[in-house]
Structure 1
Protein backbone atom coordinates (compact mmCIF):
# COMPACT_ATOMS: atom_id res chain seq x y z
CA UNK A 1 0.00 0.00 0.00
CA UNK A 2 1.18 3.49 -0.77
CA UNK A 3 -1.38 5.54 1.14
CA UNK A 4 -1.86 5.41 4.91
CA UNK A 5 -5.16 3.94 6.07
CA UNK A 6 -5.61 6.21 9.08
CA UNK A 7 -7.96 9.12 8.42
CA UNK A 8 -7.19 11.71 11.06
CA UNK A 9 -10.50 13.53 11.29
CA UNK A 10 -13.28 13.98 13.77
CA UNK A 11 -13.19 15.07 17.43
CA UNK A 12 -10.03 15.09 19.50
CA UNK A 13 -9.56 11.46 20.57
CA UNK A 14 -9.42 10.19 24.12
CA UNK A 15 -6.24 8.79 25.60
CA UNK A 16 -6.00 5.17 24.45
CA UNK A 17 -7.51 5.88 21.04
CA UNK A 18 -4.49 6.19 18.73
CA UNK A 19 -4.84 6.09 14.96
CA UNK A 20 -4.72 2.66 13.33
CA UNK A 21 -1.37 1.49 12.02
CA UNK A 22 -0.84 3.77 8.99
CA UNK A 23 0.80 1.23 6.68
CA UNK A 24 0.07 -2.35 7.69
CA UNK A 25 2.30 -4.90 6.06
CA UNK A 26 1.07 -7.10 3.23
CA UNK A 27 0.60 -10.48 4.94
CA UNK A 28 2.70 -13.38 3.72
CA UNK A 29 -0.21 -15.65 4.62
CA UNK A 30 -2.83 -15.80 1.88
CA UNK A 31 -6.12 -16.42 3.60
CA UNK A 32 -8.63 -18.89 2.14
CA UNK A 33 -11.47 -17.40 0.05
CA UNK A 34 -14.38 -16.28 2.19
CA UNK A 35 -12.20 -15.54 5.21
CA UNK A 36 -13.99 -13.41 7.79
CA UNK A 37 -12.91 -10.69 10.20
CA UNK A 38 -15.52 -11.33 12.89
CA UNK A 39 -14.66 -8.33 15.04
CA UNK A 40 -14.17 -4.85 13.64
CA UNK A 41 -15.76 -1.45 14.12
CA UNK A 42 -16.89 1.42 11.91
CA UNK A 43 -16.66 4.80 13.60
CA UNK A 44 -18.27 7.84 12.02
CA UNK A 45 -17.58 9.91 10.07
CA UNK A 46 -18.88 12.08 12.84
CA UNK A 47 -20.21 14.76 10.52
CA UNK A 48 -22.65 12.11 9.24
CA UNK A 49 -22.93 9.70 12.19
CA UNK A 50 -22.21 11.64 15.40
CA UNK A 51 -20.93 9.89 18.48
CA UNK A 52 -23.35 9.46 21.36
CA UNK A 53 -23.34 12.31 23.90
CA UNK A 54 -23.17 9.75 26.74
CA UNK A 55 -20.09 7.98 25.31
CA UNK A 56 -17.22 7.25 27.71
CA UNK A 57 -14.45 7.65 25.11
CA UNK A 58 -13.90 9.48 21.83
CA UNK A 59 -12.04 7.69 19.01
CA UNK A 60 -10.80 8.98 15.70
CA UNK A 61 -13.15 8.49 12.78
CA UNK A 62 -12.73 5.11 11.08
CA UNK A 63 -15.39 5.13 8.35
CA UNK A 64 -16.49 2.17 6.26
CA UNK A 65 -14.24 3.10 3.33
CA UNK A 66 -11.22 2.82 5.58
CA UNK A 67 -12.28 -0.63 6.77
CA UNK A 68 -12.97 -1.83 3.23
CA UNK A 69 -9.51 -0.66 2.15
CA UNK A 70 -7.91 -2.57 5.00
CA UNK A 71 -9.80 -5.78 4.22
CA UNK A 72 -8.90 -5.57 0.54
CA UNK A 73 -5.25 -5.15 1.54
CA UNK A 74 -5.35 -8.11 3.91
CA UNK A 75 -7.27 -10.44 1.61
CA UNK A 76 -10.37 -10.63 3.81
CA UNK A 77 -13.69 -11.18 2.03
CA UNK A 78 -16.23 -10.97 4.87
CA UNK A 79 -16.63 -9.11 8.13
CA UNK A 80 -18.78 -8.76 11.23
CA UNK A 81 -19.13 -5.12 12.25
CA UNK A 82 -19.62 -4.63 15.97
CA UNK A 83 -21.54 -1.54 17.04
CA UNK A 84 -19.20 0.55 19.18
CA UNK A 85 -20.36 1.96 22.49
CA UNK A 86 -19.22 5.41 21.31
CA UNK A 87 -22.23 5.29 18.94
CA UNK A 88 -24.49 3.85 21.65
CA UNK A 89 -27.74 2.27 20.50
CA UNK A 90 -28.02 4.62 17.50
CA UNK A 91 -27.38 2.03 14.79
CA UNK A 92 -27.47 4.30 11.74
CA UNK A 93 -23.75 3.84 11.13
CA UNK A 94 -24.12 0.05 11.28
CA UNK A 95 -27.21 -0.01 9.07
CA UNK A 96 -25.43 2.15 6.51
CA UNK A 97 -22.48 -0.21 6.40
CA UNK A 98 -24.65 -3.32 6.12
CA UNK A 99 -26.72 -1.78 3.33
CA UNK A 100 -23.58 -1.25 1.26
CA UNK A 101 -21.93 -4.53 2.14
CA UNK A 102 -23.22 -6.61 -0.73
CA UNK A 103 -24.07 -9.49 1.61
CA UNK A 104 -20.49 -9.76 2.87
CA UNK A 105 -21.15 -8.02 6.19
CA UNK A 106 -22.99 -9.03 9.32
CA UNK A 107 -23.54 -6.93 12.42
CA UNK A 108 -23.56 -7.04 16.21
CA UNK A 109 -25.95 -4.59 17.88
CA UNK A 110 -26.06 -2.73 21.17
CA UNK A 111 -29.64 -3.15 22.31
CA UNK A 112 -30.52 -0.33 24.68
CA UNK A 113 -33.37 0.06 27.12
CA UNK A 114 -35.40 1.98 24.53
CA UNK A 115 -34.59 -0.22 21.50
CA UNK A 116 -37.93 -1.53 20.27
CA UNK A 117 -38.79 -4.89 18.74
CA UNK A 118 -39.50 -3.11 15.45
CA UNK A 119 -36.00 -1.62 15.46
CA UNK A 120 -34.52 -5.02 16.29
CA UNK A 121 -36.38 -6.62 13.38
CA UNK A 122 -35.03 -3.89 11.08
CA UNK A 123 -31.52 -4.69 12.31
CA UNK A 124 -32.12 -8.39 11.68
CA UNK A 125 -33.26 -7.78 8.11
CA UNK A 126 -30.14 -5.70 7.56
CA UNK A 127 -27.86 -8.52 8.71
CA UNK A 128 -27.42 -8.22 12.48
CA UNK A 129 -27.02 -11.63 14.11
CA UNK A 130 -25.90 -10.89 17.69
CA UNK A 131 -26.16 -8.37 20.51
CA UNK A 132 -23.26 -7.29 22.70
CA UNK A 133 -23.16 -7.11 26.48
CA UNK A 134 -20.36 -4.94 27.89
CA UNK A 135 -19.10 -5.83 31.36
CA UNK A 136 -16.18 -3.36 31.27
CA UNK A 137 -16.55 -0.38 33.62
CA UNK A 138 -14.88 2.04 31.22
CA UNK A 139 -17.67 1.41 28.71
CA UNK A 140 -20.78 1.39 30.91
CA UNK A 141 -22.28 -0.01 34.07
CA UNK A 142 -22.50 -3.78 33.75
CA UNK A 143 -25.97 -4.94 32.71
CA UNK A 144 -28.14 -6.48 35.39
CA UNK A 145 -29.79 -9.85 34.93
CA UNK A 146 -33.11 -8.01 34.54
CA UNK A 147 -31.66 -5.92 31.72
CA UNK A 148 -30.25 -9.00 30.03
CA UNK A 149 -33.62 -10.77 30.32
CA UNK A 150 -35.31 -7.73 28.78
CA UNK A 151 -32.97 -7.89 25.78
CA UNK A 152 -33.45 -11.64 25.44
CA UNK A 153 -37.20 -11.12 25.36
CA UNK A 154 -36.98 -8.51 22.63
CA UNK A 155 -34.66 -10.60 20.38
CA UNK A 156 -36.55 -13.83 20.99
CA UNK A 157 -37.04 -15.99 17.90
CA UNK A 158 -34.36 -14.31 15.78
CA UNK A 159 -31.54 -16.72 16.62
CA UNK A 160 -29.18 -13.96 17.72
CA UNK A 161 -26.12 -14.84 19.78
CA UNK A 162 -25.24 -13.01 22.99
CA UNK A 163 -21.74 -11.53 22.69
CA UNK A 164 -19.91 -10.89 25.97
CA UNK A 165 -17.13 -8.37 26.53
CA UNK A 166 -15.32 -9.11 29.79
CA UNK A 167 -11.81 -8.67 31.16
CA UNK A 168 -9.45 -10.12 33.77
CA UNK A 169 -11.27 -12.68 35.93
CA UNK A 170 -14.66 -11.56 34.58
CA UNK A 171 -15.39 -14.76 32.69
CA UNK A 172 -14.74 -16.82 35.83
CA UNK A 173 -17.08 -14.63 37.89
CA UNK A 174 -19.78 -14.79 35.22
CA UNK A 175 -19.42 -18.46 34.31
CA UNK A 176 -22.64 -19.58 36.00
CA UNK A 177 -24.60 -16.76 34.38
CA UNK A 178 -23.17 -17.59 30.96
CA UNK A 179 -24.17 -21.23 31.36
CA UNK A 180 -27.78 -20.15 32.00
CA UNK A 181 -28.08 -17.95 28.93
CA UNK A 182 -30.26 -19.45 26.19
CA UNK A 183 -28.82 -19.98 22.73
CA UNK A 184 -25.30 -19.29 21.58
CA UNK A 185 -22.88 -17.12 23.49
CA UNK A 186 -19.77 -15.53 21.96
CA UNK A 187 -16.91 -14.36 24.18
CA UNK A 188 -14.90 -11.44 22.79
CA UNK A 189 -11.10 -11.32 22.67
CA UNK A 190 -10.51 -14.57 24.60
CA UNK A 191 -12.26 -12.90 27.56
CA UNK A 192 -9.28 -10.52 27.78
CA UNK A 193 -7.84 -12.83 30.44
CA UNK A 194 -4.89 -11.70 32.53
CA UNK A 195 -1.98 -13.85 31.44
CA UNK A 196 -0.03 -12.91 34.56
CA UNK A 197 -1.42 -16.15 36.05
CA UNK A 198 -0.56 -18.13 32.92
CA UNK A 199 -2.81 -20.11 30.59
CA UNK A 200 -4.03 -22.31 33.46
CA UNK A 201 -5.40 -19.59 35.73
CA UNK A 202 -9.08 -19.39 36.78
CA UNK A 203 -10.19 -17.32 33.79
CA UNK A 204 -8.61 -19.53 31.08
CA UNK A 205 -10.01 -22.59 32.88
CA UNK A 206 -13.50 -21.08 32.85
CA UNK A 207 -13.12 -20.23 29.17
CA UNK A 208 -12.26 -23.83 28.30
CA UNK A 209 -15.05 -25.16 30.51
CA UNK A 210 -17.57 -22.93 28.74
CA UNK A 211 -16.31 -24.06 25.35
CA UNK A 212 -17.00 -27.62 26.52
CA UNK A 213 -20.71 -26.81 26.92
CA UNK A 214 -21.09 -26.72 23.13
CA UNK A 215 -23.04 -23.44 23.28
CA UNK A 216 -20.17 -21.02 23.82
CA UNK A 217 -17.89 -19.68 21.09
CA UNK A 218 -14.70 -17.67 21.54
CA UNK A 219 -13.19 -14.95 19.38
CA UNK A 220 -9.45 -15.59 19.35
CA UNK A 221 -8.95 -11.92 18.59
CA UNK A 222 -7.06 -9.41 20.70
CA UNK A 223 -3.75 -11.24 21.04
CA UNK A 224 -2.22 -7.78 21.35
CA UNK A 225 -4.60 -6.89 24.19
CA UNK A 226 -3.87 -9.95 26.33
CA UNK A 227 -0.14 -10.14 25.58
CA UNK A 228 2.33 -9.10 28.26
CA UNK A 229 5.25 -9.31 25.83
CA UNK A 230 4.45 -7.02 22.89
CA UNK A 231 4.81 -7.85 19.18
CA UNK A 232 4.64 -10.58 17.94
CA UNK A 233 2.52 -11.31 21.04
CA UNK A 234 3.83 -14.85 21.58
CA UNK A 235 1.96 -15.36 24.86
CA UNK A 236 -1.34 -14.15 23.41
CA UNK A 237 -0.84 -16.30 20.31
CA UNK A 238 -0.14 -19.33 22.50
CA UNK A 239 -3.43 -18.79 24.36
CA UNK A 240 -5.32 -18.43 21.09
CA UNK A 241 -3.70 -21.57 19.65
CA UNK A 242 -4.62 -23.55 22.78
CA UNK A 243 -8.27 -22.51 22.43
CA UNK A 244 -8.34 -23.43 18.74
CA UNK A 245 -6.88 -26.82 19.58
CA UNK A 246 -9.39 -27.28 22.43
CA UNK A 247 -12.54 -26.50 20.42
CA UNK A 248 -11.71 -26.00 16.73
CA UNK A 249 -15.39 -25.98 15.78
CA UNK A 250 -16.33 -23.03 18.05
CA UNK A 251 -13.64 -20.41 17.50
CA UNK A 252 -13.57 -17.40 15.19
CA UNK A 253 -11.00 -14.65 14.57
CA UNK A 254 -11.03 -10.89 14.16
CA UNK A 255 -8.75 -7.88 13.83
CA UNK A 256 -10.47 -5.64 16.41
CA UNK A 257 -9.80 -2.78 13.98
CA UNK A 258 -9.36 0.18 14.57
CA UNK A 259 -8.11 -0.84 18.05
CA UNK A 260 -9.64 1.67 20.47
CA UNK A 261 -9.04 1.84 24.21
CA UNK A 262 -5.57 0.34 24.09
CA UNK A 263 -2.20 1.11 25.66
CA UNK A 264 0.42 2.37 23.23
CA UNK A 265 0.33 2.28 19.44
CA UNK A 266 -2.16 0.27 17.41
CA UNK A 267 -0.94 -3.13 16.21
CA UNK A 268 -0.02 -3.85 12.60
CA UNK A 269 -3.08 -5.58 11.16
CA UNK A 270 -0.92 -7.30 8.56
CA UNK A 271 1.05 -8.90 11.39
CA UNK A 272 -2.18 -9.97 13.07
CA UNK A 273 -3.15 -11.83 9.88
CA UNK A 274 0.25 -13.50 9.68
CA UNK A 275 -0.15 -14.72 13.26
CA UNK A 276 -3.29 -16.63 12.27
CA UNK A 277 -0.99 -19.30 10.83
CA UNK A 278 0.44 -19.87 14.31
CA UNK A 279 -2.98 -19.83 15.93
CA UNK A 280 -4.39 -22.44 13.51
CA UNK A 281 -1.30 -24.18 12.11
CA UNK A 282 -2.96 -26.79 9.91
CA UNK A 283 -5.07 -26.04 6.81
CA UNK A 284 -8.22 -27.72 8.08
CA UNK A 285 -8.33 -25.74 11.31
CA UNK A 286 -7.34 -22.57 9.50
CA UNK A 287 -10.31 -22.89 7.16
CA UNK A 288 -12.66 -23.65 10.05
CA UNK A 289 -11.42 -20.64 12.00
CA UNK A 290 -11.53 -18.18 9.13
CA UNK A 291 -14.33 -19.43 6.87
CA UNK A 292 -16.61 -22.22 8.07
CA UNK A 293 -17.11 -21.26 11.70
CA UNK A 294 -17.93 -17.58 10.97
CA UNK A 295 -20.36 -18.66 8.26
CA UNK A 296 -22.19 -20.90 10.74
CA UNK A 297 -22.15 -18.51 13.69
CA UNK A 298 -23.13 -15.35 11.82
CA UNK A 299 -25.41 -16.85 9.17
CA UNK A 300 -23.41 -16.10 6.04
CA UNK A 301 -24.21 -17.85 2.74
CA UNK A 302 -22.09 -20.91 1.92
CA UNK A 303 -18.47 -19.80 1.55
CA UNK A 304 -18.24 -21.23 -1.98
CA UNK A 305 -20.67 -18.51 -3.08
CA UNK A 306 -18.37 -15.75 -1.87
CA UNK A 307 -14.99 -15.73 -3.60
CA UNK A 308 -12.63 -13.15 -2.17
CA UNK A 309 -11.26 -10.46 -4.42
CA UNK A 310 -7.52 -9.98 -4.14
CA UNK A 311 -6.37 -6.56 -5.24
CA UNK A 312 -3.26 -6.52 -3.13
Structure 2
Protein backbone atom coordinates (compact mmCIF):
# COMPACT_ATOMS: atom_id res chain seq x y z
CA UNK A 1 0.00 0.00 0.00
CA UNK A 2 1.51 3.32 -1.07
CA UNK A 3 1.24 6.08 1.54
CA UNK A 4 1.27 9.52 -0.11
CA UNK A 5 3.26 12.30 1.54
CA UNK A 6 1.30 14.74 3.70
CA UNK A 7 1.90 18.41 4.47
CA UNK A 8 3.35 17.23 7.77
CA UNK A 9 5.86 15.07 5.90
CA UNK A 10 7.01 18.13 3.96
CA UNK A 11 7.53 20.09 7.18
CA UNK A 12 9.46 17.16 8.66
CA UNK A 13 11.67 17.13 5.55
CA UNK A 14 12.51 20.79 6.14
CA UNK A 15 13.31 19.98 9.78
CA UNK A 16 15.55 17.10 8.68
CA UNK A 17 17.50 19.46 6.41
CA UNK A 18 17.86 21.96 9.27
CA UNK A 19 19.12 19.21 11.60
CA UNK A 20 21.79 18.14 9.10
CA UNK A 21 23.51 21.52 9.57
CA UNK A 22 23.84 21.11 13.36
CA UNK A 23 27.14 20.08 14.98
CA UNK A 24 26.79 16.53 16.35
CA UNK A 25 27.65 15.74 19.97
CA UNK A 26 30.56 13.21 19.92
CA UNK A 27 29.05 10.91 22.58
CA UNK A 28 25.70 10.98 20.81
CA UNK A 29 27.38 10.07 17.53
CA UNK A 30 29.06 7.09 19.19
CA UNK A 31 25.72 6.03 20.65
CA UNK A 32 24.21 6.24 17.17
CA UNK A 33 26.85 3.82 15.89
CA UNK A 34 26.15 1.44 18.77
CA UNK A 35 22.42 1.45 17.99
CA UNK A 36 23.03 1.02 14.26
CA UNK A 37 25.06 -2.10 15.03
CA UNK A 38 22.38 -3.72 17.20
CA UNK A 39 19.19 -2.86 15.25
CA UNK A 40 19.50 -5.76 12.75
CA UNK A 41 20.15 -8.11 15.67
CA UNK A 42 16.99 -6.99 17.48
CA UNK A 43 14.84 -7.23 14.36
CA UNK A 44 16.19 -10.72 13.62
CA UNK A 45 14.21 -12.01 16.61
CA UNK A 46 10.85 -10.68 15.43
CA UNK A 47 8.61 -12.61 13.08
CA UNK A 48 6.78 -10.73 10.32
CA UNK A 49 5.96 -7.46 12.09
CA UNK A 50 4.35 -5.93 9.01
CA UNK A 51 1.84 -8.78 8.75
CA UNK A 52 1.23 -8.62 12.51
CA UNK A 53 0.47 -4.89 12.42
CA UNK A 54 -1.47 -5.06 9.16
CA UNK A 55 -3.82 -7.60 10.75
CA UNK A 56 -4.55 -5.52 13.84
CA UNK A 57 -1.70 -6.57 16.13
CA UNK A 58 -0.25 -4.05 18.57
CA UNK A 59 3.08 -3.83 20.38
CA UNK A 60 1.72 -1.48 23.06
CA UNK A 61 1.09 -2.36 26.71
CA UNK A 62 -2.01 -1.36 28.70
CA UNK A 63 -0.08 1.06 30.91
CA UNK A 64 0.95 3.51 28.18
CA UNK A 65 -2.43 3.23 26.46
CA UNK A 66 -4.16 4.26 29.70
CA UNK A 67 -1.81 7.19 30.32
CA UNK A 68 -2.11 8.51 26.76
CA UNK A 69 -5.91 8.39 26.78
CA UNK A 70 -7.94 8.90 23.62
CA UNK A 71 -5.47 9.70 20.83
CA UNK A 72 -7.82 9.63 17.84
CA UNK A 73 -6.95 12.48 15.46
CA UNK A 74 -4.21 13.71 17.84
CA UNK A 75 -0.91 14.86 16.43
CA UNK A 76 1.42 12.56 18.35
CA UNK A 77 5.21 12.82 18.56
CA UNK A 78 6.99 9.60 19.56
CA UNK A 79 10.50 10.40 20.76
CA UNK A 80 13.26 7.76 20.67
CA UNK A 81 10.88 5.57 18.69
CA UNK A 82 13.41 2.83 17.84
CA UNK A 83 12.26 0.66 14.90
CA UNK A 84 8.75 2.09 14.76
CA UNK A 85 6.41 -0.73 15.76
CA UNK A 86 5.10 1.18 18.78
CA UNK A 87 4.71 4.32 16.63
CA UNK A 88 2.66 2.39 14.09
CA UNK A 89 0.60 0.78 16.85
CA UNK A 90 -0.21 4.31 18.05
CA UNK A 91 -1.09 5.35 14.50
CA UNK A 92 -3.41 2.36 14.21
CA UNK A 93 -5.30 3.77 17.21
CA UNK A 94 -6.05 6.89 15.19
CA UNK A 95 -3.15 9.22 15.96
CA UNK A 96 -1.22 11.23 13.37
CA UNK A 97 2.24 10.04 14.31
CA UNK A 98 5.76 11.37 13.90
CA UNK A 99 8.52 9.11 15.20
CA UNK A 100 12.04 10.37 15.92
CA UNK A 101 15.12 8.28 16.62
CA UNK A 102 18.88 8.71 16.61
CA UNK A 103 19.63 5.51 14.70
CA UNK A 104 19.70 5.55 10.89
CA UNK A 105 19.13 1.80 10.87
CA UNK A 106 16.11 2.07 13.17
CA UNK A 107 14.48 4.80 11.09
CA UNK A 108 15.10 2.96 7.82
CA UNK A 109 13.43 -0.11 9.30
CA UNK A 110 10.52 1.99 10.64
CA UNK A 111 9.88 3.58 7.25
CA UNK A 112 9.92 0.19 5.56
CA UNK A 113 7.60 -1.23 8.22
CA UNK A 114 5.16 1.64 7.71
CA UNK A 115 5.06 0.98 3.98
CA UNK A 116 4.77 -2.80 4.31
CA UNK A 117 2.06 -2.65 6.99
CA UNK A 118 0.04 0.05 5.25
CA UNK A 119 -0.06 2.16 8.43
CA UNK A 120 1.01 5.76 7.70
CA UNK A 121 3.48 7.59 9.95
CA UNK A 122 6.36 10.01 9.47
CA UNK A 123 9.83 8.98 10.70
CA UNK A 124 12.76 11.35 11.20
CA UNK A 125 16.37 10.41 12.01
CA UNK A 126 17.77 12.91 14.49
CA UNK A 127 19.27 13.48 17.89
CA UNK A 128 16.28 14.22 20.11
CA UNK A 129 17.64 17.62 21.20
CA UNK A 130 18.26 18.68 17.61
CA UNK A 131 14.75 17.62 16.64
CA UNK A 132 13.08 19.45 19.53
CA UNK A 133 14.98 22.64 18.71
CA UNK A 134 14.29 22.48 14.97
CA UNK A 135 10.61 21.62 15.44
CA UNK A 136 10.19 24.58 17.81
CA UNK A 137 11.70 26.95 15.23
CA UNK A 138 9.30 25.64 12.60
CA UNK A 139 6.28 25.97 14.88
CA UNK A 140 5.30 22.31 15.08
CA UNK A 141 2.84 21.47 17.86
CA UNK A 142 1.49 18.16 19.19
CA UNK A 143 -1.47 17.18 21.38
CA UNK A 144 0.46 14.16 22.64
CA UNK A 145 4.15 13.42 23.04
CA UNK A 146 5.23 9.95 24.10
CA UNK A 147 8.49 8.24 25.04
CA UNK A 148 8.80 4.78 26.48
CA UNK A 149 11.00 2.02 27.89
CA UNK A 150 14.69 2.82 28.05
CA UNK A 151 14.55 6.53 27.18
CA UNK A 152 15.76 8.52 30.17
CA UNK A 153 19.14 6.77 30.26
CA UNK A 154 20.01 8.28 26.84
CA UNK A 155 19.34 11.88 27.90
CA UNK A 156 22.37 14.00 28.70
CA UNK A 157 20.24 17.00 29.78
CA UNK A 158 16.88 16.37 31.47
CA UNK A 159 15.92 20.03 31.67
CA UNK A 160 16.53 20.72 27.98
CA UNK A 161 14.46 17.64 27.15
CA UNK A 162 11.56 18.72 29.37
CA UNK A 163 11.58 22.32 28.13
CA UNK A 164 11.72 21.14 24.52
CA UNK A 165 8.66 18.99 25.09
CA UNK A 166 6.82 21.83 26.85
CA UNK A 167 7.44 24.08 23.84
CA UNK A 168 6.00 21.57 21.36
CA UNK A 169 2.89 20.66 23.36
CA UNK A 170 -0.36 22.41 22.53
CA UNK A 171 -2.22 24.02 25.47
CA UNK A 172 -3.88 21.11 27.26
CA UNK A 173 -1.46 18.71 25.55
CA UNK A 174 0.04 15.76 27.40
CA UNK A 175 3.45 14.12 27.62
CA UNK A 176 3.57 10.46 28.69
CA UNK A 177 6.65 8.54 29.79
CA UNK A 178 6.78 4.80 30.49
CA UNK A 179 10.14 3.91 31.96
CA UNK A 180 12.13 1.29 33.82
CA UNK A 181 12.43 2.29 37.46
CA UNK A 182 15.93 3.39 38.49
CA UNK A 183 15.57 1.33 41.68
CA UNK A 184 15.89 -1.75 39.49
CA UNK A 185 19.34 -0.51 38.40
CA UNK A 186 20.57 -0.97 41.95
CA UNK A 187 20.44 -4.77 41.66
CA UNK A 188 22.59 -7.30 39.86
CA UNK A 189 21.00 -9.77 37.45
CA UNK A 190 20.61 -12.29 40.29
CA UNK A 191 18.76 -9.81 42.57
CA UNK A 192 21.70 -8.78 44.76
CA UNK A 193 21.80 -5.15 45.94
CA UNK A 194 24.98 -3.99 44.25
CA UNK A 195 24.85 -0.39 42.97
CA UNK A 196 24.08 3.15 44.14
CA UNK A 197 20.74 4.70 43.26
CA UNK A 198 21.09 6.46 39.88
CA UNK A 199 21.21 10.24 40.12
CA UNK A 200 22.81 13.39 38.79
CA UNK A 201 23.02 12.27 35.16
CA UNK A 202 26.25 10.42 35.95
CA UNK A 203 27.65 8.95 32.69
CA UNK A 204 27.90 5.17 32.51
CA UNK A 205 30.13 3.74 29.79
CA UNK A 206 29.13 0.30 28.48
CA UNK A 207 30.63 -2.06 25.86
CA UNK A 208 27.61 -1.40 23.63
CA UNK A 209 23.83 -1.74 23.33
CA UNK A 210 23.10 -5.40 23.94
CA UNK A 211 20.66 -7.89 22.50
CA UNK A 212 17.92 -7.38 25.07
CA UNK A 213 15.28 -8.44 22.54
CA UNK A 214 16.82 -11.89 22.25
CA UNK A 215 17.28 -12.08 26.03
CA UNK A 216 13.58 -11.28 26.52
CA UNK A 217 12.72 -14.61 24.84
CA UNK A 218 9.56 -13.29 23.17
CA UNK A 219 8.59 -10.62 25.66
CA UNK A 220 9.54 -7.94 23.13
CA UNK A 221 8.45 -9.90 20.07
CA UNK A 222 4.61 -10.00 20.09
CA UNK A 223 4.59 -10.79 16.37
CA UNK A 224 6.41 -14.05 17.15
CA UNK A 225 9.88 -14.86 18.46
CA UNK A 226 12.67 -16.07 16.19
CA UNK A 227 16.11 -17.35 17.33
CA UNK A 228 17.77 -14.84 15.01
CA UNK A 229 21.33 -13.70 15.60
CA UNK A 230 23.00 -15.43 18.54
CA UNK A 231 25.98 -14.56 20.75
CA UNK A 232 26.05 -10.95 19.57
CA UNK A 233 28.86 -8.69 20.79
CA UNK A 234 28.42 -5.04 19.90
CA UNK A 235 31.63 -3.64 18.39
CA UNK A 236 30.54 -0.08 19.24
CA UNK A 237 30.57 1.10 22.88
CA UNK A 238 27.96 3.48 24.25
CA UNK A 239 27.41 5.94 27.09
CA UNK A 240 24.28 6.13 29.25
CA UNK A 241 23.23 8.72 31.83
CA UNK A 242 21.92 7.83 35.29
CA UNK A 243 18.89 9.77 36.58
CA UNK A 244 16.54 9.32 39.53
CA UNK A 245 12.74 9.56 39.45
CA UNK A 246 12.77 12.76 41.50
CA UNK A 247 15.06 14.42 38.97
CA UNK A 248 12.77 13.44 36.11
CA UNK A 249 9.64 14.78 37.83
CA UNK A 250 11.43 17.97 38.86
CA UNK A 251 12.61 18.64 35.29
CA UNK A 252 9.04 18.57 33.98
CA UNK A 253 7.74 20.62 36.91
CA UNK A 254 10.36 23.28 36.20
CA UNK A 255 9.24 23.29 32.56
CA UNK A 256 5.81 24.41 33.87
CA UNK A 257 4.12 21.13 33.07
CA UNK A 258 1.49 19.95 35.53
CA UNK A 259 1.92 16.46 37.01
CA UNK A 260 -1.24 14.42 36.46
CA UNK A 261 -0.07 10.87 37.17
CA UNK A 262 2.98 9.14 38.61
CA UNK A 263 2.52 5.38 38.87
CA UNK A 264 5.10 2.86 40.10
CA UNK A 265 4.74 -0.78 39.06
CA UNK A 266 6.23 -3.80 40.85
CA UNK A 267 6.59 -5.69 37.57
CA UNK A 268 8.14 -5.06 34.19
CA UNK A 269 6.71 -5.22 30.68
CA UNK A 270 8.45 -7.29 28.05
CA UNK A 271 12.06 -7.23 29.18
CA UNK A 272 13.73 -9.85 31.33
CA UNK A 273 16.45 -7.94 33.22
CA UNK A 274 16.80 -10.45 36.10
CA UNK A 275 17.04 -14.18 36.57
CA UNK A 276 14.08 -16.34 37.65
CA UNK A 277 11.44 -13.81 36.65
CA UNK A 278 7.84 -15.06 36.74
CA UNK A 279 5.95 -14.68 33.47
CA UNK A 280 2.35 -13.47 33.71
CA UNK A 281 -0.31 -12.75 31.11
CA UNK A 282 0.29 -9.98 28.61
CA UNK A 283 4.12 -10.22 28.51
CA UNK A 284 4.32 -8.99 32.12
CA UNK A 285 7.12 -10.27 34.35
CA UNK A 286 7.35 -10.28 38.17
CA UNK A 287 10.15 -10.98 40.64
CA UNK A 288 10.35 -14.56 41.96
CA UNK A 289 8.44 -15.33 45.22
CA UNK A 290 11.54 -15.02 47.43
CA UNK A 291 12.22 -11.43 46.33
CA UNK A 292 10.25 -8.59 47.99
CA UNK A 293 8.11 -6.44 45.71
CA UNK A 294 10.02 -3.45 44.42
CA UNK A 295 9.26 -0.92 41.68
CA UNK A 296 10.55 -2.06 38.31
CA UNK A 297 8.74 0.50 36.10
CA UNK A 298 7.09 3.87 36.45
CA UNK A 299 4.63 5.81 34.35
CA UNK A 300 4.42 9.60 34.20
CA UNK A 301 1.85 11.91 32.64
CA UNK A 302 2.26 15.70 32.63
CA UNK A 303 0.13 18.32 30.90
CA UNK A 304 0.53 21.83 29.61
CA UNK A 305 -1.87 24.33 31.12
CA UNK A 306 -4.73 25.37 28.81
CA UNK A 307 -3.75 29.01 29.29
CA UNK A 308 -0.12 28.52 28.25
CA UNK A 309 0.70 29.72 24.75
TM-score normalized with structure 2 length: 0.35
Q: Which has the higher strand share?
A: 2
TM-score, normalised with respect to structure 1: 0.35
Select the structure with the greater relative contact order (CA < 8 A; seq sep ≥ 6). 1
